[in-house]
Amino acid sequence: MENQTEKQIRVYQTDDLIVYWDAKQCSHVGKCWQSLPQVFKPKERPWITMDAASPEEIIAAIDKCPTDALKYELPEGSKVDPKIAAGPGWVDYKKDEVTSIKIKMIKSGPLRVEGAAQVFDGDGNLLRQSNHIILCGCGKSGNRPFCDGSHVNK
């Protein structure tokens, strides 16, 4: 996983699975804790309990993450079938670059971007390149232009 200290990515690991969580990229949509509430517990610390489900179940939940805030990879010697661990949540996942980009407006919420996309700041600096991006639609995010879920609390 690229430059973890710069991004302040938290790492959770078992013998069979490594999970990365980038809090700055998370919009707190809840797909993870809705899928596996016994694993993803946002009000607890640590908030990910890796031994509460199988690695395959955790992989399936992370593959549903709309922001790429959760990613996974298999450590050397993992018993998980690598074919299962190659979905959208895999750290080396690459979506077909010729696929069109979809932008969905969420009612009273953010903009969901799906497809190979790049977001640049006003000076032309690349802020993020990803297949899943959630952009702030209300202007209340502390991590603009990305949604951090602040609109829910304001």
Quote the strand ranges of the chain, DSSP E: 9-13, 18-22, 70-73, 102-105, 111-120, 126-135
Residue 95: the pLDDT is 65
Which domain-ending residue is among 73, 90, 115? 73
C-alpha 53/C-alpha 60 separation (Å) is 11
Average pLDDT over residues 6-31: 89
- Structural domain contains residue 58: yes
Which domain-ending residue is among 73, 91, 117? 73
- What's the token pair of residue 106? 């969420």
DSSP character at residue 122: T
Residue 153: the pLDDT is 64
C-alpha 72/C-alpha 2 separation (Å) is 13
- Structural domain contains residue 86: no
Whole-structure pTM value: 0.69
The pLDDT tens digits of the residues spanning 52-90 come to 999 999 999 999 998 889 999 999 999 999 999 999 999
- What's the token pair of residue 140? 């209340």
The pLDDT tens digits of the residues spanning 82-141 come to 999 999 999 998 766 566 788 999 887 899 998 888 899 888 889 988 888 999 988 888
